[in-house]
Amino acid sequence: MIKARGLFNNLYQPVEIEVDPQTNNVAYHAKSYSANDLHWGVPTNATVYGTALNYKGELEKMGDLLHNDPYKAPPKAPILYIKPLNTFTPHQSNIPLPSDVKELQTGAALGIVLKKTAAHVNASSAFEYIQGFTIVNDISIPHESVHRPAVKQKARDGFCPIGPWVVEADQLPNADNLEVKVYVNNELKQTNSTENLIRNIGTLIEDVTEFMTLFKGDVLLVGTPENPPLLKEGDQVQVEIEGIGKLENSVVAE
């Protein structure tokens, strides 16, 4: 069991718990529970920042498109976007499928949770600013363009499952090499690793805080792997990140 913080049942704020990332079991007040037997809330209510094109395979898949207008070259700084509060939804909740959309796109992401204000942070000291790590499913409506903010595709209600909990940073000594898996209806559809990030955790925090301040509770997503699985109505999706656990949600018609 490892140390984490979670918000569940009738609690008003996240509390200290112990979790087993392999079984998704939880220990609290000397009692053990299955995560799916508890009613979870989102373990953060601050800003969630997504990072685009930070997996090597994702950038390679773009190919010649990176050299087209308006950019004409691969990005030299992190490409960021915001998942607003309306998108937040917890473990075991439903992801709404809009009536005019046939499929949704998963976005398996490691979420870095900040524990204090971070501005102009050096990569070498970045982990001093991290409270812990959580699992995020950065849901979006499939789209091609990266030249304009995909607000309509990424910022729908319920398009950002988060949780179930936040694992304390010192419980994950090698967060730059965590296996990330996506299951759809219990079938493995995607496998990758944070080892394949273009900017690892320290470098990403350094590059982002060079031009913007992150605050306590903010969540910075490291990015999503290439070839994300697609989801249809009735599908159950599970994002599993090594050392953290499993985030499960179901797709239902809006």
- Written as one letter, the residue type at 70 is P
Element (H, E) at 25: strand 25-28
Q: In the beta sheet, which residues pair with residue 162? A: 136
Predicted local confidence at residue 148, as pLDDT:
61
The whole-number pLDDT of residue 186 equals: 97
Instruction: Give Cα 229 to chain centroid, integer Å.
Output: 15
Structural tokens at position 26: 């939880």
Query: 38-85 pLDDT, tens per residue?
Result: 999 999 999 999 999 899 987 777 666 665 665 666 677 788 999 999
Q: What is the pLDDT of residues 193-243, one digit of tens each?
A: 999 999 999 999 999 999 999 999 999 999 999 999 999 999 999 999 999
pLDDT for residue 92 is more than 70: yes
Tell me the per-residue pLDDT of 190-206, one tens digit each, with 9 for 90 and over: 999 999 999 999 999 99
Query: In the prediction, which pLDDT does 74 show?
Result: 67
* CA 151 to the chain's CA centroid: 17
Q: What is the pLDDT of residue 58?
A: 75
With b for 16 or more beta-carbon neighbours within 10 A and e for fewer, the 185-207 pattern comes to eeeebbebbbebbbbbbbbbbbb
Identify the sign of the CA torsion 145, 219, 156, 142: positive
Predicted TM-score (pTM) of this structure: 0.94
Q: Is residue 75 within 8 Å of residue 63, measured between CB atoms?
A: no
- Location of structure tokens 């204000």: 117
**Which domains does the chain possess?**
42-253 (3.90.850.10)
Q: Which residues pair with 5 in a beta bridge?
A: 16, 166
- DSSP codes, 79-104: EEEEE-GGGEE-TTPEEEE-TT-S-E
Q: Which residue type does 52 have?
A: A
SS3 state of residue 11: coil
Residue 175 confidence (pLDDT) above 80: yes
